[in-house]
Structure 1
């Protein structure tokens, strides 16, 4: 482990610190690859049932080894903890998803088992972990596969409130995140939760007991801005303005020859998984997400036939999505503002990075799409989603590209766009003077007139190598 740490430190010393906005769930499972890829933050699960399996005086320090945190720190990667999973001794409900016993007792009462646990774990990691997500996906109904919370919305609010108060007793600077919501399992969950929260007279002075909203968005690229914008609109309807994180996003493939699946819910190729990451991260930035993370870094303990979410396989070989992730951390980093221009046949997301501009382009349908964009510099790097690149020059101030159509093999249609390309220029800002931060419009905003050139002047046809 010492040698790994030295290597990670040497990797970190060779370049700029990673952009904190781009993360990966459980990057510790291949810390060297995470350092090389520039992962800025990672989420680690803290199972209450594993930390205290036998009672409130128990503590299993091996559940989250210090080495994981040390390696993250060496790479400049922030760790965000997630607390969940009731131990059997602490609930009268089902172990794992049951409501903790004593949840409505005062926070300082020893009978409030959840408060006592939160104080202990948050206090133990002050300065090493200062962000905590409280539970996971409570919007999945208890009688549904994958359910992790068997309490009501009201009981989840109480769980969150107790965690917020107990955590602040030991770490006044702590940031508390709402549990990641799936959106599709219960589209009304956030609204129902906020109705309860805003009726609590003690809520306003504590920001209603949460600082960040967390989302989990999968499979369909264009639902990323849709869900983020709907979430923001819901917050606004209740008079709230909170940062939004996409804590999990991915489109696991069902056609990896090294991981066969007899049946899959979605028809997604390895190349589409890579394209999805490039598209979803760009769209999340354009919709104003503060941070985005891929779920997950590496497939560990994955039963045969289950969806392979990892961008690294169990044998540590890399799926094409790993290369796409490296493109994100290299060419989306330092984004100041981002905006989406969505046309009928293609999408362009423009990332203003100060003296650099990255445009992310893909076809939305099965048809090839011709796209003309104004040049910002005498030449540009055209990079495909494998990382292969070429230098191209504009003609009469325009680049005209032909984007290959999407595969659209899923029964639901074109859930993921076609092969994704990056057009990177060293130039001034491509955004309007009014834009100074990553912003989130209610509708996609076109900052430049893309695709309205009467005649293509230069054709650079992207081809996959």
Structure 2
């Protein structure tokens, strides 16, 4: 900064030597231009030191000049999107299924329309039940679906479509006075009431669901230079400035009530949307920084939530994981290039079908292998966890209607009388095995010389008193990879197959230095 100030002073001295030079225009601190021609624009110019938009708050300021890093939460989130397939079962019965599959966290929906209809404390007992039964690790609640009265949706819009229309009144003042939310800003009031009730049990507040979903992906190519428009965002029906406003209203209220809580983006997919989010403010005119709209979008969230489905990339489970890692890196690159500061990453939706539907990849081996691989690799890259989509299938196997119907940890439960009758899929068994053996690991890391052999992929786990590994053979196609590996450590190991949680005999001991047969199905190794 001293160097930059010195340069500015020298430039001013130089310009002052020319009596014919016209006086420069005063610096406008929010227009991304060097108005006073001193070589320093906006917040880099000392003239902007007192501009509100250049103040550093919550580790992110308006110049997006903070060093990016991924900050993982402790442990690993093995989350779930529960859904509610069997309408005769209550949420606690559904949670029992999740516990059977080794779930330790959840993405909990708290729609405004639901809380306004049934009262804001309607989910208190259920969430307490989740936590008492082990679903308690960094719980996420996503805020969505305004009531009719608080929606911008046209009259006559179907109830389910209210989740696709931004709230009304977002630009009403957020506060009437210190700590007193403005009821005219109905979204602010909803967030205030919800967070007041659930602040002690919810750690992460996710704002909306997939606001950047598009009908035509070509639209996303323009977002690197132009702001996403309302017409391009059919699951939000507002523009990027409006979504930043939604984040701002939510964050101001959440941070006031629960200073330690984390605010998350709403399951984003497109890096170009993230770039726009970091370029603009909530100024409804043009997204520029002003006294009234001082901060760009990065100021208003702490956690970057993304979604990813491997079926869109084709190939086998290894291809799916490669696609996920590339998707993650694309988001990391945008956050890093924009100097967005430290962020926590979560994946609040990912899943793979255990049945083949049309030309999409699928099958029991594909689904269970993808689950084990992507959770392990994501955590090794710093992602705090994945909320699997979905707890149960949403159609019987005979229909083969959509690959999204067959991503469950359990087969379809719609016609069952009791949760005890639910049948776990191979995906669910693999998830339960991973939870049983790896949920207490203190850290995950990419392989770095701990294992020798060719055609191997996997991660290293560190427990408090031992090491562990999740390893598999990489296959060019299909799920029929095969190779051998040797762990370089000096302690004997226990090797566990993907189905160990259902079959206690699916394990075998290994002496230090033993050759380990690997296939496309990951094996979990833990030092004895």
Residue 235 (structure 1) aligns with: 335
Q: Secondary structure at the match of 1:252?
A: coil
Q: Deviation string for 1:161-199 (max 9, x for gaps)?
A: 111112233333322111111x2xx34111111111596
Matched, 1:380 2:493: yes
1:106 is aligned to: 173
Counterpart pick for 1:249 among 350, 358, 370: 350
Q: Tell me which of 266, 276, 279 is aligned to 2:370.
A: 276
* Greater displacement, 302-311 / 234-243: 302-311
Instruction: Identify which of 410, 413, 425 aligns with 1:319.
Output: 425
Question: Who is 2:272 aligned against?
Answer: 188
Match for residue 106 of structure 2?
42
Q: 1:96 aligns with which of 163, 171, 185?
A: 163
Instruction: Answer whether contact 1:19 1:40 (CA < 8 A) is retained.
Output: no
Q: Deviations over 1:373-422 (max 9, x none)?
A: 2342453222222222122335xx35242x34xxxxxxxxxxxxx32222
1:75 is aligned, of 133, 139, 152, to 133
Q: Which residue of 1 aligns with 2:43?
A: none
Q: Map 1:382-461 to 2 at 5 A.
A: 382-387=495-500, 388-394=506-512, 397-401=513-517, 403-404=518-519, 418-426=520-528
- Match of residue 209 from structure 1: 300
Q: TM-score, length-normalised on structure 2?
A: 0.64
Query: Matched residue of 1:30: which SS?
Result: helix
Mapping 1:91-240, distance limit 5 Å:
91-94=151-154, 95-108=162-175, 109-141=182-214, 147-181=234-268, 183=269, 186-197=270-281, 200=289, 208-219=299-310, 220-240=320-340
Greater helix share, structure number: 2
**2: CA distance, partners of 1:128 / 1:239:** 31
Structure 1 residue runs without a partner (length 5+): 1-17, 53-58, 256-262, 405-417, 427-465
Report SS of the residue matched to 1:104: coil
Of 359, 370, 377, which residue of structure 1 is paired with 2:470? 359
**Separation of aligned partners in 2, 1:362 and 1:146:** 41
Give the whole-Å Cα distance in 2 for the aligned partners of 1:209 and 1:180: 15
Q: Distance in 1 between matches of 2:491 and 2:447?
A: 24
Q: Distance in 2 between matches of 1:312 and 1:179?
A: 26
Compared with structure 1, are the counterparts of its residues 74 and 129 closer, same or farther at alpha carbon in structure 2 (3 Å cutoff)?
same
Which residue of the other structure, out of 440, 455, 459, is the alignment partner of 1:349?
Answer: 459
Deviations 1:244-302, CA, capped at 9 Å, x for gaps? 111222112224xxxxxxx4452210222111111001110121112222122234688
CA distance in 1, matches of 2:216, 2:150: 21
- Please name the residue that 1:410 is paired with: none
User: RMSD of aligned C-alpha atoms?
Assistant: 3.2
Check conservation: 1:103, 1:114, Cα contact below 8 A.
yes
Q: Measure the CA separation in 2 of the matches of 1:63 and 1:124.
A: 7
What's 2:159 paired with?
none
Q: Tell me which moved more, 335-344 or 65-74.
A: 335-344
Q: For 2:233 and 2:522, locate their aligned partners in 1 and report how far apart those are by CA, in whole Å.
A: 32
Residues 332 and 358, structure 1, Cα contact 8 Å, conserved in 2: no
1:147 Cα shift?
A: 4.7
Question: Which range moved further: 69-78 or 316-325?
Answer: 69-78
Higher relative contact order (CA 8 A, sep 6+): 2
Write out per-residue CA displacement over residues 98-128 of structure 1, whole angstroms, 9 at most, x where no aligned residue.
2221111210233212111111111122212
Larger Rg: 2
Query: Which of 392, 395, 415 is equivalent to 1:298?
Result: 392
Instruction: Give structure 2 stretches of 5+ with no counterpart.
Output: 1-73, 84-90, 155-161, 176-181, 218-231, 282-286, 311-319, 414-421, 501-505
Deviates more, 1:362-371 or 1:320-329: 362-371
Distance 2:261 2:395 in 1: 32
